[in-house]
Amino acid sequence: SAVISQKPSRDICQRGTSLTIQCQVDSQVTMMFWYRQQPGQSLTLIATANQGSEATYESGFVIDKFPISRPNLTFSTLTVSNMSPEDSSIYLCSVALKGAQYFGPGTRLTVL
């Protein structure tokens, strides 16, 4: 299994600012995923981050708004840029390892 930690666990931010969320995994993994969870809705995939290559963004998400770094096989960051209240959500990091998918605890973001 994989143990995933995220920082911060929650934050309250002013509109127009940016927040970087960190995701740390206790195993080396090729594929890491960033999701957004709105209350009572399905998880929405933002992007897939493979080490050593550019992240692949899903429709509706762009690199300028959600830049991602993947410097090594155990770490990734997602930045939510120029935030607005519509970005208030829980952001989850996830990894695929040996045919299973594991999720981090999430970062609860509130934008005022």
Partner 1 sequence: EDKVVQSPLSLVVHEGDTVTLNCSYEVTNFRSLLWYKQEKKAPTFLFMLTSSGIEKKSGRLSSILDKKELFSILNITATQTGDSAVYLCAVEDNYGQNFVFGPGTRLSVLP
What DSSP assignment string belongs to 13-41?
Answer: E-TT--EEEEEEESS--SEEEEEEE-TTS
DSSP three-state, residue 3: coil
The answer to whether 110 contacts partner 1 (rule: CB under 8 A) is no
Neighbours of 83 (CB within 10 A): 21
Shortest distance, CB of residue 81 to partner 1, whole angstroms? Answer: 21
Pick 41 or 53: Cβ nearer partner 1: 41
Residues 53-92 that bind partner 1 (CB under 8 A): 58, 90, 92
Shortest distance, CB of residue 16 to partner 1, whole angstroms? Answer: 24
Whole-angstrom distance, CA of residue 11 vs CA of residue 106: 11
Residues 19-58 that bind partner 1 (CB under 8 A): 35, 37, 40-45, 58
- Return the residue matching tokens 């708004």: 65
Residue 5 main-chain phi, psi, to 5 deg: -120, 150
Pick 10 or 15: Cβ nearer partner 1: 10
- Interface with partner 1 by CB under 8 A: which residues? 1, 9-10, 35, 37, 40-45, 58, 90, 92, 100-108
